[in-house]
Structure 1
Amino acid sequence: MRARLALLVAATTVLVLLAFLVPLAVLVRQVAQDRALSRADDVVQSIVPLAATGDATSLRLTVEAQTVPVTVFLPGGGVLGSPTAPTPAVRLAAARRAALTVATEQGRELVVPVVGAGGATVVIRTLVTEAELTRGVTRAWATLAGLGGTLVLLGLLVADRLARTIIRPISELSTVSHRLARAELTARADPSGPPELREVAGALNHLAARIQDLLATERERVADLSHRLRTPLTALRLEAESLRDPGESARVASAADQVARAVTAIIQQARRAGTPAVAPTCDATAVVAGRVAFWAVLAEDTGRRLHQELPAGPAPVAVAADDLAAALDALLGNVFAHTPDGTAFSVTLTTGPAGGAVLTVADDGPGFPAEATRRGTSGGGSTGLGLDIARQVAESLEIGPPGAGGAVVRLQIPAPPEP
């Protein structure tokens, strides 16, 4: 924008200068020509009275005293002053007895006929050269060109100062908008610059405050809704303790505790004011092993063969343990919800060469429908958010081709940052 403003001012200034300086340059040249011709005419007019009286001696002395070349053609063929042959203009002036100004290759020729006392015609001729006609024009044109260049530079300087006063508030608005996009909701713009930009800055600040209020309200709603789940979870835990089968009671109580931890995590995340200073990390091997052990009991009850492959050592990833567990639960929940009992499935975790891990969940079921990759869309009567939950913890998510027989979901989990 700054360059465009400078270009606009430069173009406008040049056009104005051309409209002003070109006629002025033509006028300067015309004035120089008129001045040179006027001087030559004054010289000729000073000789005319002497030519009319016929005083040859005075006429010769006057002509020789002139600083410009003057030639006087006498009636008998004699020539006074600068020797030169009679030109066509001289002969025409003598015949018509009329003063002439003729343009030649050397310049302008002034010819004035004078009728003497005896009726004879004396012709006075002088030549104004091109150098005389253009004397001082080049210097005047150079002065005008320098003035024009100075005005253009001055206009560019003023345009640059003006552009800075406009661009600085725009840059500040852009910086604040990028900070808001990074969830820095406390960022505010300083209203400055032209009235239009001050109005935009005020609107942006109002929008940021409104977003902050809406997010605070939404966090409170989510926290309140999650807190309401604690009562049925408590009742579920009490019911689990009343079961006669200790193993079944322990499994149901463990599931209830897992849900309670998830609710607590949701409440903490909803009330979190901003992004934590330390990036979350966890051991993917431990998290996946724990969740597979939980789902293995249900797999055994439904006759599903489970195959798992995990690294021998820790696999650090840049994901919180609760988030990774929620993503794996969503994928395994899809397996149990959308495949018939007895369908085999596998969970594979491998570490990448540059860090991170790849989590793969595959089953021998009917595969994903075509619309399963769209958030909120499901062909099996569910919410359609399972794959999206898994996608949020991964750098990339790949699924097997729809309807190909068997589903494969592969998550590329990022590595933790270098210390």
Structure 2
Amino acid sequence: MRRRLTLLVAATTCLVLVAFLVPLATLLRSVARDRALASATAEAQGLVSLVGTAERPSLRLSVEQATATSGRPITLYLGDGSVLGSPAARSDAVELAGRDGRSLTVARPGGHEIVIAVRGRPEGTAVIRTFVTRAELGRGVGRAWLVLIALGAALVVLGVAVADRLARTLVAPITELSVVSHRLASADLAARARAQGPPELREVANALNLLAGRIQELLQDERERVADLSHRLRTPLTSVRLEAEALTDPAEADRVAMRVDDLERAVSGLIRQARWRTEATGAGRCDATETVRDRVAYWSALAADTGRRVEVALPAEPQPVRVGADELGAAVDALLGNIFAHTPDGTAFAVRLAGGPGGTTRLEVTDEGPGLPGDAVADALPRGVSRAGSTGLGLDIARRAAQRSGGRLGLGAGPAGGARIVLEFGPLPPAGGS
């Protein structure tokens, strides 16, 4: 924008200068021409009184002196055919002036010829002739044009400098607004724009600051609600734990207590993730192998109770992904929880984790149930909407986890005709990257 404003002012200044300087340059050339012709005419007319009264020797001397003084050729043609001064052939203008007694200025290829008729001499009408060359007609014009060009260039430079300064006062606030908006988009909610520049830009800066403040207020309200939710959930969990400890069967008490511990861990992780997600500067990292193994082990106990066969294929080495352990665990829980919620008891399922090309990671969950609806597409699943009567958040949680790492979620049919859900996680950034 700054460059465009400067170019606009430069172009406008050049057009104005051209419209002003071209007529002025033409006028200067015309003035120089008229001045040279007037000077030559005045010098020739200075000899008129001498031509009418002086004797021939004195007249010859006067013409030679005038030629030497003026620097241009002056010729005197007498009525008897004699020629005094600078020798020159009789032109048609000289013949006409001698015949009619008129004074003339005639344009010639090399300049202008000036002839003046003088009557009163005994031998007839005399004619004074002088010639003004083209160089003399344009004397001083080139220097004047150079001065005009220099003046025009100086005005253009001055105009561009002033335009650049003015453009800077406009562009600087806009650039700052852009920087602040990008900082806000990167979750730096402390960023604020200075109200500077034209009134319209100051108004935009104030509006952006108000928006950032409002976002902070809404996030603060959200954190407070999450904190309140944590207290509300702790109370029933504590009650369940106490009831579990009161069971008479030690094995049953340990089993229920373990489930309560898992539930409490999940609730704590969910609250912690919701509370601090907006303050995170980048995605977390975890070992997908360990996290998936832990969550599959959790669901395996329930699978055994419901008669489900579980097939697990995990790599022997760590498989790092650009997703936090809590978030990846929530995604795995969402996918496995859907199997238990939407397939009958005894339905087998499989979990496979493997590395993909280019440093990617692929998590595949398949089951032998009735499968997904025929029109189910991962990108067309609105958050909170389900075709199976659930909350509609499970697949969205998994999809967000994959997308946060630069990957995606895919839906399809498994080998046994059931559902096949694939989470592809993007590669880790190079060493030193975020």
What TM-score does the superposition give when structure 2 sets the normalisation length?
A: 0.87
Greater shift, 340-349 or 66-75, is seen at 340-349
The structural deviation recorded for 1:235 is 4.3
Q: Contact (CA 8 Å) 1:304, 1:345: kept in 2 or not? A: yes
- Kindly tell me: are residues 118 and 406 of structure 1, through their superposed partners in 2, closer, same or farther at Cα, counting changes over 3 Å? farther
Q: Contact (CA 8 Å) 1:44, 1:124: kept in 2 or not? A: yes
Given the alignment, which residue of 369, 382, 393 partners 1:375? 382
1:349 maps to a residue whose letter is: L
SS in 2 for 1:38: helix
SS in 2 for 1:384: coil
Matches within 5 A, 1:8-407: 8-53=8-53, 55-67=55-67, 68-118=72-122, 120-238=124-242, 250-272=254-276, 275-276=279-280, 280-351=284-355, 357-369=361-373, 370-373=375-378, 374-376=381-383, 377-394=385-402, 395=405, 396-401=407-412, 405-407=417-419
1:390 maps to a residue whose letter is: A
- Kindly tell me: are residues 208 and 42 of structure 1, through their superposed partners in 2, closer, same or farther at Cα, counting changes over 3 Å? same
Given the alignment, which residue of 414, 417, 421 partners 1:409? 421
The structural deviation recorded for 1:128 is 0.5
1:96-148 CA-to-partner distances (Å, cap 9, x unmatched) read 33221111101011122222245822222111100100111111111111111
Q: Contact (CA 8 Å) 2:366, 2:414: kept in 1 or not? A: no
Q: What CA distance in whole angstroms lies between the structure 1 residues aligned with 2:150 and 2:277?
A: 63
- The answer for unaligned runs of 5 or more in structure 2 is none
Q: What CA distance in whole angstroms lies between the structure 2 residues aligned with 1:294 and 1:85?
A: 125
Q: Contact (CA 8 Å) 1:317, 1:416: kept in 2 or not? A: no
Q: Contact (CA 8 Å) 2:362, 2:424: kept in 1 or not? A: yes
SS in 2 for 1:392: helix
The structural deviation recorded for 1:218 is 2.0
The residue aligned with 1:2 is: 2
Identity %: 58
Q: Contact (CA 8 Å) 2:366, 2:419: kept in 1 or not? A: yes
SS in 2 for 1:207: helix
1:12 maps to a residue whose letter is: T
Q: What CA distance in whole angstroms lies between the structure 1 residues aligned with 2:42 and 2:59?
A: 16
2:209 maps to a residue whose letter is: N
Q: What is the total number of aligned residue pairs between the two structures?
A: 419
Greater shift, 108-117 or 8-17, is seen at 108-117
2:228 maps to a residue whose letter is: D
1:134 maps to a residue whose letter is: G
2:31 maps to a residue whose letter is: V
- The answer for unaligned runs of 5 or more in structure 1 is none
Q: What CA distance in whole angstroms lies between the structure 2 residues aligned with 1:90 and 1:252?
A: 135
Q: What CA distance in whole angstroms lies between the structure 2 residues aligned with 1:174 and 1:274?
A: 21
The structural deviation recorded for 1:8 is 1.2
- Kindly tell me: are residues 286 and 340 of structure 1, through their superposed partners in 2, closer, same or farther at Cα, counting changes over 3 Å? same
CA RMSD, 1 decimal: 2.8
SS in 2 for 1:189: coil
Q: Contact (CA 8 Å) 1:281, 1:416: kept in 2 or not? A: no
Q: What CA distance in whole angstroms lies between the structure 2 residues aligned with 1:337 and 1:88?
A: 121
Q: What CA distance in whole angstroms lies between the structure 1 residues aligned with 2:275 and 2:310?
A: 38
What TM-score does the superposition give when structure 1 sets the normalisation length?
A: 0.90
- Kindly tell me: are residues 201 and 152 of structure 1, through their superposed partners in 2, closer, same or farther at Cα, counting changes over 3 Å? same
1:168-221 CA-to-partner distances (Å, cap 9, x unmatched) read 222222211111111111111222233332222222111111110111112222
